Structure 1
Amino acid sequence: MQFFAHGVGGAKDLPIPAEYAIAGACAALAISFTVLALAWRAPRFNIGEQPKPAPPLLATIVDSTWFKLVARLWGFSFFLYVAVAGVFGKDLAINPIFGVFFVLLWVGIVPMSLAFGPFYKAISPVRSINWALAKVSGSDPDVGLFRFPDRLGYWPAALGLFAFVWFELVYPFNSELGPLRLWCAIYVGVMLIGGALFGNRFYERADPFEVFSTLVGHLSVWGRHEGRLVMRSPLANLDLMPVRPGLLAVGSVLLGSTAFDSFKGSNRWMIWSQTTDLNGNLVNLGGLVGFILVVGVLFAAATMLTGIHAGFRRTELPGEFAHSLIPIVVGYVVAHYLTYLVEYGQQTVILLSDPLSNGSNVLGTGDRAINYWLSYHPTFLAVTKVLGVIVGHVVAVVAAHDRAVRLLPKRHQLTGQLSMLVVMVGFTIGGLALLFSS
C-alpha cells in the first residue's frame, strides 16, 4: 500500500555522488577524532559545574500543576480521538490511525523529543490511565505492588521496540486495521498491568515509546538539576544518560531496524527476497534480526577492545558507551525518514479531520493540500540527509571520546579508541551506502 511505503528516498533523491559523500563523511570522522585526540585530554561534561537555570517564567510554567494537567489532557484526548478512528473507522488506507501510528508517533517522536525533552512521558496516555485508576483505588501511581527489578533495566523496552519494528517491517498485514488494533490493545494492556504491578517506574524502563523519547530527549537542551528545570548543552545532557542493562539493546534495535528498513527497499534485497524459495516473512525477520545483531555485536566488541579500565569489567563497557549510539540513531532517522515525516505527516493531519472516513472535516484540515517542497528541492534534501548521518556520527564520536578519557588510563586514551573509531566509520559508510542504494 503506497501510503505505508516509507518515504526514505534513494539515489533518485540524492544528486550527490555516493563516493563523494562517503569519502567526505569518513574524512569528517577522522578529522574529528584527530582534533579530539590532540585537544580533548580530560573530561569536559558534568565535572562539577552548575547548569544554567531555565528562564524563571518558563520554569514556573513547566513545573506548575496546571501545565502538567493540560499536557496529560491533551495527550489523552488525542489518544481517544485516534482510538475512535481505530475502533469505529473503516479499514481503509485513509484511516488516520495508520499515519498517527507509523508517522506521527514513531518518527515524530524524534523531533519533538529533541525540541522539548522527554515529550512522550509528559503526554503518555497509559500514564494518564494508570494515574486515574490509582486515584480511584486510593493508591499511589508511582508505587506498585512490587519493586521493578533493576537487573531488567531497559530490556523490556528493547522487546517492546522490537515488537514495533517487527510489526512495521516484517508483519505482512500491518496495513490492515484489525492487526493494528490488536497491537495497540496489547500495548495498552501490558502497560496498564505493568503500571499496576510496578508503578510509574515500569513506564520509565518498559514503555517502548517513552524510553525512545527519553533517550532522544537527552540530546535536547532541557534537563533537571536537584529538581529544577535547567539548560545544558546536548552533549552534557547525553553524558548524564543512566547506564542500565539493556541500553545497548535499545540502541541496537533502533539503529539496526532503521538500517534494515532502508536495505529492505534496495533492488538487491527486493529481487532476492522475491525469488528465493524461502518464506518471505522469515527472510525479512532474519534480515531485521541480523541487522540488529550486527549493530550490537560490532559496538560491544569495539568497546570491549578499548583498553584497560580501572574498576570495570570488559563486559560492562558496552553499556558505558551505549549512550553514543543515540546521536547516530537520530542522524539515521533524519536521513531515512525526513521526507516520510514531512509529507506523510501532512497527509495524516489532513486525514485526522475525517476519522470515520465519511467526508467530515472535524478539525478543519480536510481541505488542505500537501506541500511537497522537500521533494521539489532534491539538492537541499540530499545535503540534509547526508549531513544527518555525518553530524550524528561526529556527535557520537565526541560523546564516546569524552567517556573514554574519563574511563581510560592515560596510556590508552588514544589507542584505546581506535576500535570505536573503526566501527563508527563502518556505521557511517554503511548508513550512507544504504541511503544511496534504497
Structure 2
Amino acid sequence: MSVPGGNDLVLAHGIGSVEGLPLDGELVLQTGGVVVLVSFLAVALLWRHPRFGGPVRGRPLPAAVERTLDAPALRWVVRLLVLLVAAGIVVIGFVGPQDPDDNPAPRALYVLLWVGIVPASLLLGPVWRVLNPLRALHRLVAVALRVPPEGTAQLPARLGYRPAAVGLVVFTWLELVVPVRDSPAVVAAFLLLYAVVHTAAAVRFGSGWFDRADAFEAYSTLTGALAPVGRLDDGRLGWRNPLRGLAAVTVAPGLVALLAVWWGSTVFDGVSGWVGWSSVRQSVPVPGVLLDSVVLLGLMVLVGAAYRVATGSLAGALAGTLIPIAAGYTLAHYATLLLVEGPRGLSQFAGAQLGAVTSVPAPGLIAGIQIGAILLGHVVAVVAAHDRSVALLPEHRRLADQIPLVLLMVAYTMVGLFLLVIS
C-alpha cells in the first residue's frame, strides 16, 4: 500500500523494507523453513492427544474489571463516540483539503483502522466488535424506522463469512490497486458507501449481520481469537491460552475464502512493493490497474486453492489454523507503516503536523519484530493444525495426512520471509 501523501522515506507499498536492515536474507529464509519443520516433528512425535479443544478455560478477570468492560452503557457510549469520529472523517474527507498530508481520512482508514486493528485485536481480542460505529448507526436507524434490532428476516446460514470475504476483496482492491486510493474524497466515498450497505443489510437481517458480513469486524474477530484475554466457556472475560481461543473459532461457510483473501492480498502488497514489480508492469502490454487487479485476485484464488488441495475434506475444520500465519505476516508486513505513519495519523486528528520521516526508527528492533512475528505465527499454526488433526483423524493417518498442510505452511513461511527481504 502506498503511504498516503508520499513521504521522503521510501516505504514499499506502506511498509519498511528489510533491505538494509541487519539481516542476512539467505539465513532468514533457511531459519524460517527449519523452525517450522522442527516444530512439526516435535509435535508429531510428542503430541498424541488433543490439548486445546473443548471448553475454553482460564482465569477470570477481577469482577469489577469485568463489570466495567461489559457494561452496556459504556459500550454504547464508546460506539457513539467512534461513530461521531467516523462521521467527522467522512465530512473532512469530502470538504477538507485534498492533499493526504493535510487530511486525516486516508491515514485513518489505511493505517489506524486497517493496520492498527491487528495488534489491537491480538492484544485485546475482537476490539472492533466493541468499537464498531456501524452497530450504533444500525441501532439509531432501527429505532427511527421502528424496526426490531434483530431485523425483519433471518440471515441465511449458508452465507457464513462470504459477505465479509467480498467486502475484504473490495477494500484491498481499493487499498492496493486503485490509483487514487489516497484521495481523501475517495476514502470518504468508500466509507460512506460501506456504511450505507452494511447498515441497510443490518436493518434487514439484524445486528448479527456484522458478526460475519462486516469485513473489518470479521477480520478483528478472527485475529482476536489469538488474544490472551477473551470469553471463557462460562461467558466470563478472563485470561486464557491463545491456542484454546483459536480452537474455539466457529467454522462457517466462507471462512477459507476470507482467510485466502486476507493472506493473498497481503502477499500481493509484498510483491508489488518489490523494486522489480514496476519493470514487470511496464513490460506487460496491459494497463497497470488491470494487471494489478488480475494478480491480486489470482493470488487470493491460488492461496485458497492450495490450502484446499493440502487439506482435502478437512479444509473447513482446519481453516482456523491459517489465522496465526495471516496475522503474523500482516503484523510483520505493516510494522514499519504502523510505527512511522501511525503517529502522523494521530497527530492530524490533533491538528498538528509531524515532519517528513527521513529514516526508519530502530531498524534492528523492527527487523526482529518482523522476523519474529512470521516465525511465531507459523509455529503456532503448526501446533494448532497438529492438535486439530489429532482430534479429527484416526491414529494411523495423523502423520501422513498432516504432511501436505505442513509443507504448505513451510511454503507460506518461505514466501513471507522472502517478500519481507525483497520488498
Is TM more than 0.5 here?
A: yes
Structure 1 residues 410, 150: CA separation in 2 closer, same or farther (over 3 Å shift)? Answer: same
Within 1, Cα distance between the matches of 2:243 and 2:171?
28
Is residue 2:85 matched to residue 1:73?
no
Note the C-alpha offset of 1:279. Answer: 1.4
- 1:316-352 deviation digits (Å, cap 9, x = unpaired): x211111111111111112110010111011111112
| Structure 1 stretch displaced more, 5-14 or 256-265 | 5-14
SS of structure 2 residue aligned to 1:42: coil
Note the C-alpha offset of 1:230. Answer: 2.9
SS of structure 2 residue aligned to 1:2: coil
- 1:13-47 deviation digits (Å, cap 9, x = unpaired): 43211110111111111111111012111110133
SS of structure 2 residue aligned to 1:284: helix
Is residue 2:218 matched to residue 1:221?
no
Which residues in structure 2 correspond to 1:128-277 (within 5 Å)?
128-141=136-149, 143-224=150-231, 225-277=233-285
Note the C-alpha offset of 1:379. Answer: 2.1
Note the C-alpha offset of 1:229. Answer: 1.9
1:405 to 374, 377, 390: 390
Amino acid at match of 2:156: P
Is residue 2:131 matched to residue 1:123?
yes
Note the C-alpha offset of 1:372. Answer: 8.0
Q: Is the 8 A contact 1:6 1:340 kept in 2?
A: no
Residue identity over aligned pairs, in percent, reads: 36
Report the TM-score, using the length of structure 2 for normalisation: 0.93
Amino acid at match of 2:214: D
Note the C-alpha offset of 1:113. Answer: 1.0
Match of 2:113 in 1: 105
Match of 1:10 in 2: 17
Q: Is the 8 A contact 1:260 1:291 kept in 2?
A: yes
- 1:95-124 deviation digits (Å, cap 9, x = unpaired): 100000110010001111112211111111
Q: Is the 8 A contact 1:222 1:230 kept in 2?
A: yes
Is residue 2:318 matched to residue 1:321?
yes
| Structure 1 stretch displaced more, 282-291 or 57-66 | 57-66
Structure 1 residues 177, 136: CA separation in 2 closer, same or farther (over 3 Å shift)? Answer: same
Note the C-alpha offset of 1:48. Answer: 4.8
Is residue 2:94 matched to residue 1:87?
yes
Amino acid at match of 2:52: F
Within 2, Cα distance between the matches of 1:46 and 1:371?
46
Amino acid at match of 1:57: A
Within 1, Cα distance between the matches of 2:241 and 2:125?
12
Within 2, Cα distance between the matches of 1:219 and 1:48?
16
Match of 1:311 in 2: none
Structure 1 residues 16, 319: CA separation in 2 closer, same or farther (over 3 Å shift)? Answer: same
1:421 to 403, 406, 410: 406
Within 2, Cα distance between the matches of 1:86 and 1:276?
35
Within 1, Cα distance between the matches of 2:146 and 2:389?
48
Gaps spanning 5+ residues in structure 2: where? none
Q: Is the 8 A contact 1:343 1:370 kept in 2?
A: no
Within 2, Cα distance between the matches of 1:337 and 1:50?
32
Within 1, Cα distance between the matches of 2:137 and 2:27?
51
| Structure 1 stretch displaced more, 43-52 or 10-19 | 43-52
Report the TM-score, using the length of structure 1 for normalisation: 0.90
Match of 1:285 in 2: 293
Within 1, Cα distance between the matches of 2:77 and 2:12?
35
Match of 1:348 in 2: 345
SS of structure 1 residue aligned to 2:276: helix
SS of structure 1 residue aligned to 2:230: strand
Q: Is the 8 A contact 1:343 1:372 kept in 2?
A: no
Structure 1 residues 48, 11: CA separation in 2 closer, same or farther (over 3 Å shift)? Answer: closer
Within 2, Cα distance between the matches of 1:430 and 1:127?
37
Amino acid at match of 1:383: G
Structure 1 residues 155, 64: CA separation in 2 closer, same or farther (over 3 Å shift)? Answer: same
Structure 1 residues 176, 25: CA separation in 2 closer, same or farther (over 3 Å shift)? Answer: same
Structure 1 residues 26, 228: CA separation in 2 closer, same or farther (over 3 Å shift)? Answer: same
- 1:161-180 deviation digits (Å, cap 9, x = unpaired): 00000001111221223322
Match of 2:368 in 1: 383
Q: Is the 8 A contact 2:89 2:188 kept in 1?
A: no
Within 1, Cα distance between the matches of 2:127 and 2:223?
10
SS of structure 2 residue aligned to 1:100: helix
- 1:150-193 deviation digits (Å, cap 9, x = unpaired): 00100000000000000011112212233222211210111111
Match of 1:362 in 2: none
Amino acid at match of 2:315: P
Note the C-alpha offset of 1:278. Answer: 1.1
Structure 1 residues 113, 320: CA separation in 2 closer, same or farther (over 3 Å shift)? Answer: same
Match of 1:330 in 2: 327
